[in-house]
Structure 1
Amino acid sequence: MLESLPPPPSAAVVGVDSVSSEHSVGPTAGVDRGKSVVSEEMGGGGGKKAERRRRNKIPVGASSRASFKGETVSLVKKALAPEQLAELAIVDPKRVKRILANRQSAAKSKERKMRHMRELQKKVQLLKIQTTEKATTVTMLQVYVFLFNLSSGNLSVNEYFNFSINII
């Protein structure tokens, strides 16, 4: 299994913004605090509602793929280990709180999804049983109609054979 590695310590992390070209430097470099930047160019000024853009934090010199032991590894956001969370809690406790809240929310969502799937499977089983019962009832009613027509003399020989074949 290939693992995504964080950027090497020598790689500076830059905050990229469509409006501003400021670089994040220092111990909080690369930490997205969820702040939004208001773009005057996009809003057009003049009382129009300004469009909000979020900053993307990407390592300088990073491409969409990184090389590790001859293999290419996507730069995918991985779940942080408890040790990494403890270290991050010192630097950015709000981010850790948000990460933990997101994990709890994801667990609840997964449980709701599983409960919903179980309910749907029960409904499918119930509908299958009901379909079988209805099909049996329809067949019995067809037999009753056939017997009624047979006893009243309204049935030809061809209809009798066709019905017998359908029942089989």
Structure 2
Amino acid sequence: MNNRIELIKGDITKIHTDAIVNTANTSLLGGGGVDGAIHRTGGKAILEDCYKIRERQGSCKTGEAVITTGGKLPAKYVIHTVGPVWSKSNSVKAEQLLENAYRNSLKVAVVNNIETIAFPNISIGIYHFPKQEAAEIAIDSVKTFLDGNNQIKKVIFVCFDEENYQIYKMLLYADQ
């Protein structure tokens, strides 16, 4: 496994990194799941930054990423990315958009001199992306990005539940 990639099971709102990634919706105004937890824990400063982004550019498109303060979170920043909604009829497009969500989050991190970043499992909840495929795309996208960039020192995949943790563990440690 790449020594710049780490896997943990836990709550992303408690992770001490330069940035954590939020699985936002296009409105950037908070929601359920990870998005809701990040907004609740981080406080109003995150939402205030989201309003400023919306005034500047409107919504955040699927596969794109923007950055805000981390507010009261242990992380200094939150990178908000919008993952795709998966269905059998759009699976190929959804795969590309999910890859974009990871890659664009990492690009935002580099532009903002972020060295450590934590990702949740993007698009697997209410967006219905198959967990195994989502994990494969996440890991491949991050590894490919890290191969071409040395600024980011550590990427942490944070799995909230045991099932996703085991999927990532199998994929990350299969080569050892």
Query: What TM-score, normalized by structure 2, do the two folds share?
Result: 0.25
Higher RCO, Cα 8 Å, sep 6+? 2
More helix by share: 1
Structure number, greater radius of gyration: 1
